[in-house]
Structure 1
Amino acid sequence: MAVEGLAARAAAVGLLGAVLGEGRMLAEVLADPQGPLQGLPPAERARAQRLTLAVLRHVEGVDRLLEPHLRKAPPRMVRDVLRLAVVEIGMGGAAHGAVNAAVEIVRRGKRTGAYAGLVNAVLRKVPEAPFAGMVPQRMPRWLRQPLVHAYGREAVSAIEAVQAGVPPLDLTLRAGAVAPEGEMLPTGSLRLEEKGQVSALAGYEAGGWWVQDAAAALAVRLLAPVAGERVLDLCSAPGGKTLQIAASGAQVVAVDLSGARMGRVRENLVRCGLQAELVVADALVWEPGERFDAVLLDAPCSATGTIRRHPDLPFVKDGSEVEGLVALQAALLDRALGMVKPGGRVVFCTCSLLPEEGEGQLAAALARHPGLRVERVEVPGVDPAWWTEAGGLRLRPDLWAARGGMDGFFMARLEGVF
């Protein structure tokens, strides 16, 4: 007897195995033409991805729920099947469908067939509402500990609660754009709860908007480009900020090391009818012909502010890369400062919650460049409490928690003698 949705669930188990077992980032696995999604139609691919993300947001709580019913740890694939079924039930799926699919996936496995009875027995004991009372998944120690030191335990717990939910979709709109119905946020982004397929939303084909988290959109608003200025967008892919700058009427040059990611920027520019000069190059060695009126640097970072959208990150990264990233950010910031005209401005930002990639970078830059100063400018919709004493803007997922939160970012606008 065929089990409806079996292919998507089996693919989700494969995706979980790649992330939790092989330590691969989900984006890498999704882009792999030989990966678990191979051969699935778009709807099933989307379902597999949605289920995988849901499991990654609840691994710790689900494992605690399953533990009393397991005398010893089953093979990893069997555990992932159990996790998937529990999460699907918690999301409101029919328990019998989730259980039947789980049993069938295990039965078909080359080395897991003998566990079909165990899976059936364990899942029959799962409560109807398994998420009730489940504590939000904690971030790994390497990340949680410095965040508790920086923001306090209460704030970190609030961040984790936001990260456990499905994030809304934020759009940046051009003036007069046709757009879907949603909530207009104080900072000017449009937030959607029920998003569906992005390309099917109102106004997509007309190119009047693009997907961009509300926090990310604030970097360009802090830069405040104006028509006619020459603006450099360093480390620009995937391009939301490039589109914002272009929409302001400024002449934008976007530089990024990845040709593939820059291809996505080009596609969105065409869809939105905007112009930008795209350069595939290493920002550390690329030399512009002349200096710019303003420079935006969205530096490579640990991306710890994006866990609500990328819940695979805590299972793949261990913090060992942070030291190297901090050094790279400092080098890129010095390069950015050298590319701006006298009297110009630079906005430095990272989508990280770690202070060494934000507040620490700002303090170090001010120490390296005595003529540098932080310029705090009015940004509509920004709560005064979000500004740091040093003049940077610290954004966290627990801000606007009732609205679905926002990505974690640090950004600062720098002016003076570079």
Structure 2
Amino acid sequence: MSNNKSNPRMQAINEITNILNGDNHQPSYNEDSFYRSLVSEAMRRFGEIDFYLKQYIKKPLKTEQNNIKANLIIGSVQILYMRVPSYAAVNDSVNIAKNKTPHHVKFINAILRQLSRDFENNKLDKISSLKNIPIEIKKRWKKALSEDQLKKIAKQLLITPPALDISISPEEDINKWRDSLKGEPFGNNNIRLLSNYGKIEKLPGYNEGKWWIQDIAAQLPVKLLLKKIKKNADVIDMCAAPGGKTAQLLSNNLKVTSIESNKIRANILNRNLSRLNLKTNLLLQDANQYTPEKPADAVLLDAPCSSSGTIRKNPDILWRLKYMKNDYSSHIKSLLTIQSDLLVSASKMIKRGGILVYSVCSLDNEEGYNQIINFIKKNNRFVIDPINKLEVDITKESVTKEGFVRTLPYFNSELGGMDGFFIARLLKTN
């Protein structure tokens, strides 16, 4: 058997073990497509796999046995969902167990062989894809989403996202890039590549800085801000990395101050803008400590959040949230405090008559709708500047009756879906 570093199954087991152990780090990029498929599919189907494995495991595995559970998960995902021959999946899991957990070789072999027999004989129960959303997360989402919406989100979670959204600089000819990139226009200044696009760095125009990658929903906060400000306006981007929204602002001839508190993320922002031949006034500091020389015309606050709206591309987020060392509710509470503090700081940076756009890529109502309603109650100088359907260049159903935008992962599902976002636009009154 190949060594650990070159064995994609072993690497996948290590990554799943980290998630089960509550390690919330983001894994380094791995070019091995089989490794990425293993982890991605295991995370999309985790609830289903866990349900099936419990039928065979008489005594629940302990936390210190998470590497055994991870091995079973990776073996199961190959048998059930990846068309890997059962004998090959079982054999590889057993060989890995001989190396990592020799006392559990027979256990792993027996479980996976029984699973494969039941699968081949159609003895496995059909279960709802809602199993793939952790119960504690589902409970919170139910406060704002219907059962039907949850089912659609769960269904979208199972689709390996083929879509790649490319944001084209406004001065570029979108038809030219549609032909060059072999994609389709999707919204204003955006091209969606549906499949087989290969390495991003090899695509036409990448090295020349003609475009950047940004989900169609992630482009909306800036687009809705642009509807309300003039060219050359002073705009503050409070949590600016990795730089997609800053790039949008700069490409529209605005004077931008970008704030980022994390040095590594600030470096990523700088690299991204350098490739695009764009330059911002970048401040490496806590946005709560920043006071502009004069009030800005507008502030964009794309706040730190649970990122649960990005699960179609990052299905591991659901299980990182479930297994994190701090429980999910405590994690959300800490994020709510961060968001609330940033909103208060943002309110002090804007001139009277100025615009504040707040966004989070979260499906949790407390991070979005509730956060803004609470802010308005405490800050009577700010009122909702209602967003209307004519301002949204993609799905119109995302505009709420209050004048907010809420996109969900299954919107435009026939074209690959989109990230889940909450967006509010506020006006600072005189």
Q: Which residue of 2 aligns with 1:108?
A: 99
State the 1:192 CA deviation: 2.4
**Is 1:368 equivalent to 2:378 in the alignment?**
yes
254-263 vs 333-342, which deviates more? 333-342
| Deviation per residue, 1:19-41 (Å, 9 max, x gap) | 01x111251xx24xxxxx9xxxx
Q: Which residue of 2 aligns with 1:25?
A: 24
Query: In structure 2, how many angstroms separate the alpha carbons of the residues matched to 1:352 and 1:11?
Result: 29
Query: Letter of the aligned partner of 1:176 in structure 2?
Result: D
Q: Which residue of 256, 268, 271 maps to 1:267? A: 271
| Deviation per residue, 1:42-85 (Å, 9 max, x gap) | 533x5423321221111121133334444445643233222212
Report sequence identity in percent.
28
Query: Letter of the aligned partner of 1:221 in structure 2?
Result: K
Going from structure 1 to structure 2, the CA distance change for 1:132 and 1:228 (only over 3 Å counts) comes to farther
- TM-score, normalised relative to structure 1: 0.87
Q: Which residue of 1 aligns with 2:361?
A: 351
Q: Which residue of 2 aligns with 1:58?
A: 45
Going from structure 1 to structure 2, the CA distance change for 1:280 and 1:212 (only over 3 Å counts) comes to same
**Is 1:83 equivalent to 2:73 in the alignment?**
yes
Q: Which residue of 2 aligns with 1:43?
A: 31
58-67 vs 72-81, which deviates more? 72-81
Contact preservation (8 Å) 1:183, 1:191: yes
391-400 vs 222-231, which deviates more? 222-231
More helix by share: 2
Query: In structure 1, how many angstroms separate the alpha carbons of the residues matched to 2:204 and 2:111?
Result: 43
Contact preservation (8 Å) 2:68, 2:101: no
Q: Which residue of 1 aligns with 2:309?
A: 305
Root-mean-square deviation (Å): 2.8
Query: In structure 1, how many angstroms separate the alpha carbons of the residues matched to 2:83 and 2:347?
Result: 52
Q: Which residue of 2 aligns with 1:243?
A: 247
Going from structure 1 to structure 2, the CA distance change for 1:215 and 1:311 (only over 3 Å counts) comes to same
**Is 1:197 equivalent to 2:196 in the alignment?**
no
Query: In structure 1, how many angstroms separate the alpha carbons of the residues matched to 2:391 and 2:261?
Result: 30
Q: Which residue of 1 aligns with 2:325?
A: none
Query: In structure 1, how many angstroms separate the alpha carbons of the residues matched to 2:118 and 2:25?
Result: 28
Query: In structure 2, how many angstroms separate the alpha carbons of the residues matched to 1:129 and 1:58?
Result: 20
Q: Which runs of 5+ in 1 are unaligned?
A: 32-36
Going from structure 1 to structure 2, the CA distance change for 1:108 and 1:126 (only over 3 Å counts) comes to farther
**Is 1:338 equivalent to 2:337 in the alignment?**
no
Q: Which runs of 5+ in 2 are unaligned?
A: 322-327
Query: In structure 2, how many angstroms separate the alpha carbons of the residues matched to 1:220 and 1:120?
Result: 49
Matches within 5 A, 1:109-258: 109-112=100-103, 114-115=105-106, 117-118=109-110, 121-122=113-114, 124-125=116-117, 127=119, 133=126, 135-136=128-129, 137-167=131-161, 168-174=163-169, 175-176=172-173, 178=177, 180-186=181-187, 188-194=189-195, 195-224=197-226, 226-258=230-262
Going from structure 1 to structure 2, the CA distance change for 1:368 and 1:76 (only over 3 Å counts) comes to closer
Q: Which residue of 2 aligns with 1:414?
A: 426
Query: In structure 2, how many angstroms separate the alpha carbons of the residues matched to 1:408 and 1:43?
Result: 27
State the 1:259 CA deviation: 0.8
State the 1:148 CA deviation: 1.8
Query: In structure 1, how many angstroms separate the alpha carbons of the residues matched to 2:101 and 2:68?
Result: 12
Q: Which residue of 90, 93, 115 maps to 1:99? A: 90
